[in-house]
Amino acid sequence: MYNLTMNNINYDLVIVGGGTSGCAAAYNAAKSGIKTLLVEKNNFLGGLMSGGLVVPVMKSAVEDINTDFYFELVECAKKYDAQITYKFKNTKNDGWFNPEVLKIVLDDLLTKDNIKKNLDILFETEVTDVEIEYNKIKTIILKNDILSIPVVSTYFVDATGSGILSSLAGCKFIDDTIQNQQSSLRFILSNVDVKTFAKFIKKIDNDEDITNIYRDDIDTKGLINFTTASTWDTNKKWALDEILKQAVKDGVLTDSDRSYFQIFSVAGSSNQVAFNCPRIDTYKNNPYKYSEELINARKAIWRLLNFVKNYFKGFENAELTNIASQTGIRESRRVKTKYIYTKDDLISGKKFDNIVLKSNYSIDIHSKNKNSSVLQKTVNYELPIESLMSIDRENLFVIGKIVGADFEAHSALRVQKSCMQMGEAVAKYIAKINS
Ligand SMILES: Cc1cc2nc3c(=O)[nH]c(=O)nc-3n(C[C@H](O)[C@H](O)[C@H](O)COP(=O)(O)OP(=O)(O)OC[C@H]3O[C@@H](n4cnc5c(N)ncnc54)[C@H](O)[C@@H]3O)c2cc1C
């Protein structure tokens, strides 16, 4: 009964990775009538948006190109009280999702009748091998704990966030920098009195660039939503900085805990707060050090819990209820594509024929060192579809944070809505060439 190998299964399209970009690709492909398989190693959809607890969707698209999935997702999430739309005029967020409920929202969206008839989903399944024929991927071997599943398909999409399918297919990666984006191990506290904290933070911080408190009776059913932050960079006046510094003096926090501190209320909840910290180093070439970092990050989470309980009004009874099951890795590998998109293309707003998105999200690099992070405003820029086409395998597309872009351009392209737009663009492109 064990280690069974199934017979070959055939699809038009196989998408490996059911996260931010993969879900958008699967939804649009199935909607266009393409027989699609979505393969996900977790037991839920959403990737960084759900398992990584990356709550906010950064404002990025300047035109609604390939945004059908995003808006359908928002509509569907609203039915579950799992989304708020942020309406401050100078906000950097479009809104945010409830990461746990999002798992159910994505199941709902991807099993609608018109989608389900063309889409199969395999959870807890990973790609382990690839067979190549004439420069194309012919078959991929999927494995769960018990079965080996060979799948033949006309097209393949790597939406894994790490480029594992591309790597197995022998594709090249872009090796252009020794710079690293810092990662984060995000977590959620419950039993927070959000109303009391909102009053507390409003008193000490009026800078809408840092702290937003938002109440909208239609979207949020009277719940208060907020975000605030403090970092050890001196480019802004962080109202919370003095409190964080005091906690370091008191021995409650370490100085590096101050490097990046950012919190958000959770859509649809009156008592949960999501943390975009602590930061960690992923030590790409040293899995032992990376593993140590994860242990250190959990220690930091415990310190941060004790810090907010003792220094912030409203957090007195806070409880730790969720540490992200997927590490918040901002950048791992970028695949070599037919066109490698560069910082110069981005800052010059270079025009292309077949565009995936138009965006103005900033170049956004999280550095380990003080005053070295970058948040550089840009003009409106366009990403061409060729940056999503593997240069090595004719029938392989790459979407999401493995996009074919240089390090700086990637830092602007990696945000959630742009990743969804990439998935949608590729699905629509395949539908066109397949018809
Ligand atoms: C700490 C952090 C903070 C961020 N903050 C913001 C923000 O505020 N706003 C914003 O818009 N964006 C933000 N981003 C960026 C954004 O969340 C990500 O870049 C985006 O979600 C990546 O989407 P993706 O589809 O490439 O990857 P993911 O969403 O991670 O999806 C990859 C999927 O592939 C699956 N997978 C991996 N390997 C395999 C395999 N071998 N077989 C099968 N499945 C596999 C994974 O389980 C996962 O579900 C942040 C990112 C991080 C890390």
What are the domain boundaries of the chain?
4-178+331-434, 183-323
With a cut of 50, list the residues of the chain below it in pLDDT. Answer: 1-2, 217-218
pLDDT at 88: 63
Let me know: does 218 contact 299? Beta carbons within 8 Å. Answer: no
Alpha carbon of 106 to ligand 1 centroid (Å): 15
For ligand 1, mutation pick of 20, 74, 93, 293 (most atoms within 8 Å of CB) = 20
For ligand 1, mutation pick of 260, 416, 426 (most atoms within 8 Å of CB) = 416
Distances in Å between the Cα of 288 and the Cα atoms of 1, 184, 251, 294, 325 are: 36, 17, 28, 10, 19
CATH of domain 4-178+331-434: 3.50.50.60
Ligand 1 binding site (Cβ under 6 Å of any ligand atom): 16-22, 39-42, 47-49, 52, 54, 56-58, 126-127, 159-162, 164, 184, 276, 328-330, 400-401, 414-416, 419
Beta bridge partners, 341, equal: 405
Which atom of ligand 1 approaches the CA of 19 most closely? 31
Alpha carbon of 47 to ligand 1 centroid (Å): 5
pLDDT at 85: 82
pLDDT digits (tens, 9 = 90+) for 262-275: 999 999 999 999 99
pLDDT at 1: 42
